[in-house]
Amino acid sequence: MKKIIFFMFYISISIMALTYIKLYDGWEYKWEDETKWHKYNTPGVPLENKGEMLYLRYKLPDIELENPAVYLTGIFDNSSMQIGETLIYNTFAKSFFSPKSIFKIPYNFQNKYLIIKVSSKRRDVGFFGEFLLGNELELLTHQIFVELDKILLVIFSFFVLVISIILYFYFFILQRDSSVRRSIIYLGIFSLGIGFFISGQTQTFKYFYDNNVFWAYMMDFGKYIAPIGLWDFL
């Protein structure tokens, strides 16, 4: 019975995740010193950076959504997004790492332009992997499925950390060899570092806590302590 309920739940979630709209055709771009918009023939493929501000735009369709949001992934060092006159996101002067992927938009988005302003010191600029329009919960479900491997790895890393702490105190109480206890605790430190590093890269977590600085430091902290834990464990 439990397997049937799980299977039905999985199918319902999968169907819900497929109701978003993929928006790829119709993108335009221009550089800051230009007045004319150019057709973006290959969305998803970055443009060669001219060292200027890049503007991307897309005219949103005339459809109704209960909790409208857009899902956008890509390389944006500094960027802002707006629909019509409404600013929905801005990372200029405070972007440390890749921003979140899901952005709430106004209910009256129909037939308005989504305009993305991008500044980058990279060789290429303006790349985005996916652009989706849909219900906010549907997009979150899609993002969870996309990053399910990362989420499970983070959970497993913290599980190993907890087990390491339990084993450490177990061997400590039994007064086992201190070298064994040392290896166990450093295994936990390595797992903690891996968990922190992957957490800083996982967009799903940024949906629940949108703080680029926090996740950037989380990733850096994990990047430095994981090798220490691994070295001492070996």
Task: State CA 126 to chain mean position distance.
Answer: 17
Higher pLDDT, 153 or 4: 153
CA nearest 98: which of 227, 207, 223, 192? 207
91 within 8 A of 80, measured Cβ to Cβ:
yes
Q: What are the tokens at 46?
A: 């970055």
User: For residue 144, what is the enclosing H or E element?
Assistant: helix 136-146
Q: Answer whether residue 202 shows pLDDT above 90.
A: no
What pLDDT was estimated at residue 232?
62
Reported confidence tier of residue 68, pLDDT bands at 50, 70, 90? very high
Q: Is the pLDDT of residue 109 over 80?
A: yes
CATH of domain 19-146: 2.60.120.260
Structure confidence by residue, pLDDT tens digits, 154-199: 999 999 989 988 888 887 777 666 677 778 888 888 898 999 999 9
Q: pTM score, two decimals? A: 0.77
Strand partners, 125: 47
pLDDT one-digit tens code per residue, 4-63: 555 455 555 555 545 788 888 889 999 988 889 999 887 777 888 887 888 999 999 988
